[in-house]
Amino acid sequence: MKIFTTEQIRNWDHYTISHEPISSIQLMERASTAVANWISEHCKNHKRAAVFCGNGNNGGDGLAISRMLYMKGFDVDIFIHDPKSKFSQDAAVNLKRLRDISGITIRNFSQIEQYGFDDKTLIIDALFGIGLSRSLKGENRHLVEQLNAKENLTLSIDVPSGLFADGLFEDDAVILKADYTLSFQSWKRSFLHPETGKYTGKVIILDIDLSKDYSEKTEAEYFVTDDFLIENIFRPRQEFSHKGNYGKAVIAGGSYGKIGAAVLATKSALRAGAGLTFTLSPNCGYEILQSSCPEAMFIEAGGKYITDFENDPGFTYGIGPGLGTHPDTEKGLLNFLENYHQPLVLDADALNILSKTSGNLKLIPQKSIITPHPKEFERLFGSTENSFKRLELAIEKSRELNIYIVLKDHHTQIITPQGKVYYNITGNAGLAKGGSGDVLTGILTSLLAQQYSEEHACILGVWLHGKAADLASEKYSKESMLPTDVIHELGGVFAELDRKKARNL
């Protein structure tokens, strides 16, 4: 799914209106119907709605939603700035339509303090949409502060009021904190970054049937990894195939006291489908690895830490889990990278070794995949003010080094050397545990060994990792799920992908 800028979204609306054809008020009605239907279906315990409407088209949506919710049996109260103030053309039409309905009360913002909010009252935020270009001031700021103080379930229409769709706000800005954001047609970038996404609550994307022609022909640099993309990337196992068709994955990692990381990466590489899986590890991990991962073959590479990285062009390497940064390991890794020129996966301590000297970055084979979390990224490339700036730097470095960067975050970003960014929306906070990154390294290495392109291995691998984590959290909770649970759930994710592929044949 493409992520469009605010300007592109406006153009999308205009294109739909002129080419469908449909009037702007009819398009507003379509969007409002989608919201009202969702609320009616999912908020059955809330039969009272306090709807806060601005004077623009977002407010027009709110006015239309109010009318529709009333017709569905909700008690509705509307709050606006002033009935005599100037509204957008479509908002004014919807305000006029409400005057024929005696059961809906229209109040001023100033009356919020006297209004009786009970626990069945749903707050609907339709104050400002994607067109907001400056922080809230005066009465609007005070109103949002008042709403944030309420404990009622709060829904924002399109974007939470005060939030910019494309980027950051001022440091002292006041943003409405929603429990749900019901947005139209596509994700907005601000929903996907930690500084801004914390205001959206759960994001629900409602399809309002904007022009598919516009969406297909309009270029974008940012994308959300959706099911359609994954189903097109995924390749089911062929019936007349053998282990040689699915590559040789080598997990190079582990050191004394950190063999578990190599075990996790090895197990996930096996579960992700590599034809042959090897673990290149020090001898101290031999018994652990052979007993916990009997399907994988062991390559001894040192005593208590790896000193010798076997260079075989027929292998696809994933290097880093539990590796440690011993000087002999560092020497061995840098020597290996000087002589190995095929794409590989670098994570954890491999990245920490590379970060010691900026010149080391040039040793990374082109089209390789690196998987830093924010702190590792900072060590590699320098600090940034925020996650938006960090992503900008990642785009620059990906292009400069001709590598793929999997920038781990709540919504992990996959950056390609061509400047494309894919935001992943599977996964949950249960992955915030040691070992989760090792699992991802194994999955990526396995997919790369199976001859998925580097870009597709990143997109599919991160999605698989997150989807399996979602299944694990449903079974064990985010608090109690373990990285090993994520590995075990990979089978269910693959099974579902196979079923979907079979249905589409």
DSSP string covering 194-255, please? HHHHTTT-EEEEE-----HHHHHHS--SEEE--HHHHHHH--PPPTT--GGGG-EEEEE---
Show the CA angle centred on residue 176, arms to residues 174 and 181, nearest 5°.
145
Element (H, E) at 281: strand 276-281
198: phi then psi, degrees, rounded to nearest 5 = -65, -15
C-alpha to C-alpha distance for 42 and 106, rounded to whole angstroms: 25
Q: Is the pLDDT of residue 505 over 70?
A: no
Confidence at 501, pLDDT banded by 50, 70, 90: confident
pLDDT at 375: 96
The amino acid at 87: F
pLDDT of residue 171 exceeding 90: no
Those residues with Cβ within 8 angstroms of residue 106's Cβ, 6 or more apart along the chain or in another chain: 77, 78, 79, 80, 83, 98
Q: What is the pLDDT of residues 430-442, one digit of tens each?
A: 999 999 999 999 9
Residue 78 in this model has a pLDDT that exceeds 90: yes
Angle at 74 between CA 69 and CA 76, to 5 degrees: 80
Q: What is the pLDDT of residue 85?
A: 86
- Average confidence (pLDDT) over 169-182: 94
Put residue 348 in one of left, alpha, beta given phi > 0 → left and psi -120 to 50 → alpha.
left
Per-residue pLDDT, 166: 93
Mean pLDDT taken over the chain: 96
Tell whether the model's pLDDT for residue 82 goes beyond 90: no
From 3.90.1170.50, 1.20.120.1690, 3.40.50.300, 3.40.50.10260, which CATH number describes the 2-219 domain? 3.40.50.10260
Q: What is the reported pLDDT for 504? A: 76
For the ranges 115-119, 257-261, 267-271, which has the lowest average pLDDT? Answer: 115-119
Same fold, 2-219 and 230-504: no
What mean pLDDT do residues 11-27 have?
95
Amino acid letter, 360? N
pLDDT of residue 503: 83
In contact, 248 and 278? CB cutoff 8 Å: yes
Q: Provide the CATH number for the domain formed by 230-504 in this structure.
A: 3.40.1190.20
Smallest CA-to-CA distance from 306 within 263, 372, 255 is with 255
Using CA atoms, how far residue 157 sits from 100, 211, 504, in Å, is: 24, 20, 34
The secondary element (H helix, E strand) that includes residue 50 is strand 48-53
Residue 133 has pLDDT above 90, yes or no: no
Residue 220 has pLDDT above 80, yes or no: yes
Asked if the bond preceding 21 is cis, omega within 30° of 0, the reply is yes
pLDDT at 354: 98
User: How is the chain split into domains, by residue range?
Assistant: 2-219, 230-504
Q: How do residues 262-312 score in pLDDT, each as one tens digit?
A: 999 999 999 999 999 999 999 999 999 999 999 999 999 999 999 999 999
CB 26 within 8 Å of CB 210: no
- Whether 269 and 318 have beta carbons less than 8 Å apart is answered as yes
Q: What is the pLDDT of residues 38-69, one digit of tens each?
A: 999 999 999 999 999 999 999 999 999 999 99
Pairing of strands 121-126, 48-53: parallel
Mean pLDDT of the 466-484 span:
98
